[in-house]
Structure 1
């Protein structure tokens, strides 16, 4: 593909290149009176012409800084005339409705009012999300290619942003906060993300410095809006990993509309590519619906519901892992008995009502209920053999010429959790003619948690039991000397917690646009508060309150270059959620304080044209100073907190992103990020935090075969330097620091498109029933890189050493996927 060569040349030679031709773009969707798309509409702007496609989509480039008349004509519908005056590189979205009774004329003067660009929000196209391959395809899969967003676990949809952890990210669907299950400890247990990609209309993401209207977390906001359908439709996807079906429905009077999706997933294809051979029978399924009802032009109602059942049945059989060095190759062979039986059932429902008292005044009332019932039960006995590989270099764990260690490990858990979270929230929005807006809201949340933790681990090596590493016990020199101390589990956690948490929160913010000389200037000033109290059967926490002021400034100079400069930040708090209240022993401390972060983000957003196509270069410099830090350890995706707020930390970094139409009509991007984050616990000194992901490079690229344009190619490439997660979870990080190897992964997809909007007029036979139809091949982990998520620590009875045996993620996997849309 010649386009790949162009990217490489661009990266080395690009130094702020721009083209002299200054133009703007008008694009949109043309509909008729019945909300059906209108194809073959002629659009004329001066000496330029184009046509709308079968789905009504069009785009046309026009000269900037001058009045330009656009004329829309159709063989059976009346003409529309529109006059615009656009800034250089401006994109104006115009969605006309054509009728057969009267002609329409209008004049629009457009200045730069792209609110999301001014706010520093990244907008992700829904069609891109659907196309990009990944072991966990969806919104989170695409997020991981953005700068500042890191993950080294392709089996998980969780992600860390700019030094934060998985618990520090806000996720909204239709302005309603959504939650994840609590007990999940491994990415392969997760099943399905809450967000159903088939239902999505808009996806906005902020990696920091977000406004006060968003909630109380430290790292990021993912704001998703589900679509409101205008006509009947259906979408089907099927692959070796499962399938999904989504249906759009609209009533005859257009007052009712609904979009409903059903999904099923089976990760056996991915898990069976790992070192551990298993009997694995997972069932991940959910049904989700978004129903809208227009009571009147001023009053709308909507309902969002989700039922999810994730069953994880896991019976490991054997494991064979090769590791070590060229001079000393080693192998670990493990033979298992027992099984793991986990189940996560979640039920979610939310009602939202919107009342528009006037074009400039609106109110919203939102109520939601989330219920999760979770169990994590396992009894697994592992008998291992550690040794040097024989001299023939076969690296076969069964052929070792010297056995270094033989032992057993028994893990037991009976963890159960039942959580009920209820929310009610009131929001308001008021706009004035001077480009000012006031936004405000109040919210009450009640969380009821019923939790039992029972888990322990026993390790036996060369015939003697190994005592826990964190207790002061008599010296154990078995088998050479008798041991007189007690026999204890290596790890032992037991706790029962019945807790209720009441939270009151609110926000208010003022948005305004003005001018500084000939430049445009936007600012947002706002603040949040939250007050909460934790109570339980035998505990009563104190009432705590935090206040979080936040500001955003954006300046667009009156230059020929289309640039925006932004400065944002403030004081961010994260009042503890249930998992943050629970310490390493499973016991809840009701008086854990909110973690606090002073956050500053300085960024530049530059729109330009290259190859006569739009591009954007975004640079962001950020710094976070954290206090009252609740330190934690990460094992796979399970986070365990110390729960004492006895640390301080910082995070600093620089992110770059170049995105645009490297290939005409498709969006691709390249990301690079540098991050350093450290913590100081009990004034012992600064050490790397578990999310200290120093360097990150990612590429998301869309292309097509030059000689076969109906064959599309999609590339998802990520490189991350190693995380400091290689030490045992129980070890003292000040005594032992170890990093995992770098994470390298490339997923590629090929799709043969039989029908889409560009060739619908040519379809015949059974294909004429489809708006889209494609068949694709996906290759996960294209280069078969061995990426480790954690280490298993195995003791050598002869030298008393422990060896870090990598727990590798998935190897190369092939998948076939079918997509169809009616």
Structure 2
């Protein structure tokens, strides 16, 4: 299917919808007396109606040219009625306020949150995302506080889920799949996440066992919804780490809505406080927009756009890392020359048409284009000393290297350039027949990758250039002359021109059954994926996979609000370009899709504690992986072997308790246990690079009772250590040691000067709907966490030391947030 088909389909849908539309629309937000949005309220006329979403938003279609009475109702609140007559295709905004009703009716309402519980999806509040502190605040910052989600680099937005790696997570924004840059190797290069939390209205996350309607990845799904404004609004967020701004509005006739977000980030505050002294000039900026236009009550067209410019300039000067023990302290002292200049520019646009053919059938057409242009250029000479540290307290040279055990130098060079273009065209449908729901979709993807890799590393120790330990470079001196050439210790040179064409699709069926003593929800579906790899000097290869998946949820009619969920199936991950390229830069088109048999058993229990609502979520899971593509992990860069020569497994338990630990706020604590190992070439099982056994997380919101406008936010994380990796050319089976445990606490304190309950009528503060100032302390206890090891040789003792690369220390930040 060609991408030129999209305009004709959209034209057809627009033309058809104009002919058949005979309805009008009422939309708005339901609020209580404290101006809090009401989720799950009923908006009805006659026998028709809808529910308000998690943000209180609703959209109701009514017949035109008729006097209609709409009733707004919610348990425990007084009903509101609206009588109105609208012309065809008219849009009317009405934002009712429901007041407290003294008569309490014992009725249980089916809400959007309950539907997410059935599917095993965690819903995160966008407001919490914007307030919770973190070195890289945003959606991913909160995900890392969930059980089963791990991330050991606070400057990175990448995360690993239940033993998977960073490439195994799906991310959707308004049903459009989004992508990450390819070449980034460290968290401080990343800049901004694609997801702009200022534009977000809903965040759903599944850590496994997800339905067939989601794509072909092994680990998780993050499903983001950007909001459609119902009024004019603007926001501004300023801090020492950068700024973000957004503006939103709706046209007078209610047909056009739009929201625009701008962001700028500067990581200098973190990088300049690390162990390496640098000249650092980063520029991370992006602009995002989401527009919708409602032609009539049948057809709506939306556009999602993003432009991101990341300019990373890094000039290291010196570094001293102290390690070893108290009795035998050792230090690595490095002097640098050279610099690193990286650029990651991405451009993304998506057009989605939604056509409601009838009450039972909705069709969607989505077209998107993504382009990334990336450059990674550096020449850095590092001259190092490895020696003993002065530990004499009171000595003026305390902490300095006094006796040198080893000296050497290292020259690293890279001229890596990548240009990737990804085109998608997708059709999705949703059919409701009585109690049966059928969803289907078909998608065509074209990926065009132009890649040049040129890297080398030269290691010198005491005047001798170290050659790679390969059989071709065996040294038999003095018995035979050494004739091998002088070559870099590591070197990669490749130029690839690769095209990948994919056709994927899914179909799934869902139904609810009412049994005598319980309710049962069933979902079953299958995905298929066919892809062809071709390109310059590449033998064209085609492969196909099928992935059946199912979910069963049972809710007994007990006094306790509890449900049980069993989900899983056969999951495949067809290789993306990075998975096809091996450690030498060669593309291997015959790499198979990694395969996982995944089973998840879950329990959700909702209860009241201290007269406040709480939920306890538990999930036990097991994954059996085959055709595994082994990889090495360097900070956040993944390098695959491009060979399906391993098998693996992962199992664990995730538990999360969430609720109002403090009245009027949502907090949670989480625990996760994970074990994942792999068997490469039948040599036996060893730790996978993501084998992080224990995880504890806590997210706490609080306020001062006597000064309720003074609020506090605490984000706590404890992860046991990851495997520490291995040097170049080393056998990973010989290096099974772990990094130290990862411990981090981030604290945010804010004071609300203006909010909805304290608006100012005079003075300069009258322009604000909300104005908050505060301070943040990242890594409160100044823990020295490490992300990887640098391996350095001592020529005298022939010992190779693993020297930790430490992450950010304690850092202070100030912040101001405004809404207009």
TM-score range, shorter chain: 0.7 to 0.9
Deviation at 1:391, TM superposition (A): 3.9
Whether 2:778 is the aligned partner of 1:780: answer yes
Contact in 1 for aligned 2:391/2:399 (Cα 8 Å): no
The corresponding residue for 1:583 is 582
Secondary structure, counterpart of 1:750 in structure 2: strand
Separation in 2, partners of 1:169, 1:212:
15
Question: How do 1:189-208 residues align onto structure 2 when only pairs under 5 Å count?
Answer: 189-208=189-208
Separation in 2, partners of 1:416, 1:96:
61
The corresponding residue for 1:531 is 530
What does the per-residue CA deviation read over 1:497-554, in whole Å, with 9 as the maximum and x for residues that have no partner? 1000000000000000002322000010100000001001111232100000000000
The corresponding residue for 2:708 is 709
Separation in 1, partners of 2:699, 2:692:
20
Deviation at 1:583, TM superposition (A): 0.4
Question: How do 1:226-375 residues align onto structure 2 when only pairs under 5 Å count?
Answer: 226-375=226-375
Separation in 1, partners of 2:786, 2:417:
29
Secondary structure, counterpart of 2:198 in structure 1: helix
The corresponding residue for 2:34 is 53
What does the per-residue CA deviation read over 1:19-57, in whole Å, with 9 as the maximum and x for residues that have no partner? xxxxxxxxxxxxxx9977787xxxxxxxxxxx6124666
The corresponding residue for 1:167 is 167
Question: How do 1:712-723 residues align onto structure 2 when only pairs under 5 Å count?
Answer: 712-723=711-722
The corresponding residue for 1:72 is none
The corresponding residue for 1:551 is 550
Q: Measured at CA, do residues 233 and 630 of structure 1 come closer, stay the same or move farther in structure 2, by a change above 3 Å? A: same
Q: Measured at CA, do residues 298 and 729 of structure 1 come closer, stay the same or move farther in structure 2, by a change above 3 Å? A: farther
Separation in 2, partners of 1:716, 1:415:
37
Question: How do 1:619-768 residues align onto structure 2 when only pairs under 5 Å count?
Answer: 619-728=618-727, 730-760=729-759, 764-768=762-766
What does the per-residue CA deviation read over 1:663-698, in whole Å, with 9 as the maximum and x for residues that have no partner? 111110000000000000110000000000100000
The corresponding residue for 1:413 is 414
Contact in 1 for aligned 2:345/2:374 (Cα 8 Å): yes
Contact in 1 for aligned 2:281/2:313 (Cα 8 Å): yes
Contact in 2 for aligned 1:147/1:671 (Cα 8 Å): yes
Separation in 1, partners of 2:397, 2:223:
49
Separation in 2, partners of 1:814, 1:379:
32
Separation in 1, partners of 2:335, 2:196:
38
Contact in 1 for aligned 2:390/2:399 (Cα 8 Å): no
Whether 2:413 is the aligned partner of 1:403: answer no
Q: Measured at CA, do residues 274 and 396 of structure 1 come closer, stay the same or move farther in structure 2, by a change above 3 Å? A: farther
Deviation at 1:707, TM superposition (A): 2.5
Q: Measured at CA, do residues 512 and 93 of structure 1 come closer, stay the same or move farther in structure 2, by a change above 3 Å? A: farther
Contact in 1 for aligned 2:391/2:398 (Cα 8 Å): no
Q: Measured at CA, do residues 421 and 626 of structure 1 come closer, stay the same or move farther in structure 2, by a change above 3 Å? A: same
Contact in 1 for aligned 2:69/2:81 (Cα 8 Å): no
The corresponding residue for 1:426 is 427
Deviation at 1:582, TM superposition (A): 0.3
The corresponding residue for 2:803 is 805
Deviation at 1:307, TM superposition (A): 0.5
Q: Measured at CA, do residues 409 and 657 of structure 1 come closer, stay the same or move farther in structure 2, by a change above 3 Å? A: same
Separation in 2, partners of 1:133, 1:429:
39
Deviation at 1:110, TM superposition (A): 4.6
Whether 2:772 is the aligned partner of 1:791: answer no
**Please, what TM-score do these two structures have when normalized by structure 2?**
0.88
Deviation at 1:485, TM superposition (A): 4.1
Secondary structure, counterpart of 2:541 in structure 1: coil
Contact in 2 for aligned 1:596/1:629 (Cα 8 Å): yes
Deviation at 1:765, TM superposition (A): 2.4
Deviation at 1:468, TM superposition (A): 1.4
Q: Measured at CA, do residues 706 and 145 of structure 1 come closer, stay the same or move farther in structure 2, by a change above 3 Å? A: same
Q: Measured at CA, do residues 456 and 96 of structure 1 come closer, stay the same or move farther in structure 2, by a change above 3 Å? A: farther
The corresponding residue for 1:128 is 128
Separation in 2, partners of 1:568, 1:95:
39
Q: Measured at CA, do residues 81 and 414 of structure 1 come closer, stay the same or move farther in structure 2, by a change above 3 Å? A: closer
The corresponding residue for 1:17 is none
The corresponding residue for 2:768 is 770
Deviation at 1:249, TM superposition (A): 1.7
Separation in 2, partners of 1:56, 1:529:
40
Question: How do 1:583-622 residues align onto structure 2 when only pairs under 5 Å count?
Answer: 583-622=582-621
Secondary structure, counterpart of 2:307 in structure 1: strand
Contact in 2 for aligned 1:145/1:671 (Cα 8 Å): yes
Contact in 1 for aligned 2:72/2:80 (Cα 8 Å): no
Deviation at 1:495, TM superposition (A): 0.7
The corresponding residue for 2:12 is none
Separation in 2, partners of 1:59, 1:589:
51
Cα RMSD after superposing both structures: 2.7
Q: Measured at CA, do residues 37 and 352 of structure 1 come closer, stay the same or move farther in structure 2, by a change above 3 Å? A: closer
Separation in 2, partners of 1:502, 1:292:
30
Separation in 2, partners of 1:588, 1:662:
53
Separation in 2, partners of 1:792, 1:95:
66
Deviation at 1:564, TM superposition (A): 0.6
**Please, what TM-score do these two structures have when normalized by structure 1?**
0.88
Separation in 2, partners of 1:713, 1:93:
31
Contact in 2 for aligned 1:244/1:261 (Cα 8 Å): yes
Contact in 2 for aligned 1:79/1:104 (Cα 8 Å): no
Contact in 2 for aligned 1:636/1:790 (Cα 8 Å): yes
Separation in 2, partners of 1:305, 1:332:
46
Deviation at 1:790, TM superposition (A): 0.7
What does the per-residue CA deviation read over 1:310-360, in whole Å, with 9 as the maximum and x for residues that have no partner? 000000011011111011011111000000000011100000000011122
What does the per-residue CA deviation read over 1:96-118, in whole Å, with 9 as the maximum and x for residues that have no partner? 67679999999996554621110
Separation in 1, partners of 2:97, 2:177:
42
Q: More deviation in 220-229 or 486-495?
A: 486-495
Secondary structure, counterpart of 1:734 in structure 2: helix
Instruction: Could you tell me which runs of 5 or more consecutive residues in structure 1 were left unpaired when the two chains were aligned.
Output: 1-32, 40-50, 61-77, 87-91
Separation in 1, partners of 2:336, 2:398:
15
Contact in 2 for aligned 1:367/1:425 (Cα 8 Å): yes
Q: Measured at CA, do residues 671 and 421 of structure 1 come closer, stay the same or move farther in structure 2, by a change above 3 Å? A: same
Q: Measured at CA, do residues 703 and 763 of structure 1 come closer, stay the same or move farther in structure 2, by a change above 3 Å? A: farther
Secondary structure, counterpart of 1:188 in structure 2: helix
Contact in 2 for aligned 1:37/1:55 (Cα 8 Å): no
Q: Measured at CA, do residues 82 and 36 of structure 1 come closer, stay the same or move farther in structure 2, by a change above 3 Å? A: closer
Separation in 1, partners of 2:625, 2:545:
15
Contact in 2 for aligned 1:164/1:219 (Cα 8 Å): yes
Question: How do 1:806-821 residues align onto structure 2 when only pairs under 5 Å count?
Answer: 806-821=804-819
Deviation at 1:805, TM superposition (A): 1.1
Contact in 2 for aligned 1:525/1:551 (Cα 8 Å): yes
Separation in 1, partners of 2:137, 2:97:
44
The corresponding residue for 2:181 is 181
Q: Measured at CA, do residues 228 and 333 of structure 1 come closer, stay the same or move farther in structure 2, by a change above 3 Å? A: same
Secondary structure, counterpart of 1:628 in structure 2: strand
Q: Measured at CA, do residues 240 and 470 of structure 1 come closer, stay the same or move farther in structure 2, by a change above 3 Å? A: farther
What does the per-residue CA deviation read over 1:142-175, in whole Å, with 9 as the maximum and x for residues that have no partner? 0000000001000100000000000000000000
Separation in 2, partners of 1:95, 1:333:
72
Separation in 1, partners of 2:377, 2:613:
53
What does the per-residue CA deviation read over 1:166-221, in whole Å, with 9 as the maximum and x for residues that have no partner? 00000000000000110101110001110111000000000000000000000000
The corresponding residue for 1:66 is none
Separation in 1, partners of 2:681, 2:425:
39
The corresponding residue for 1:488 is 487
Separation in 2, partners of 1:385, 1:104:
70
Separation in 1, partners of 2:402, 2:571:
58
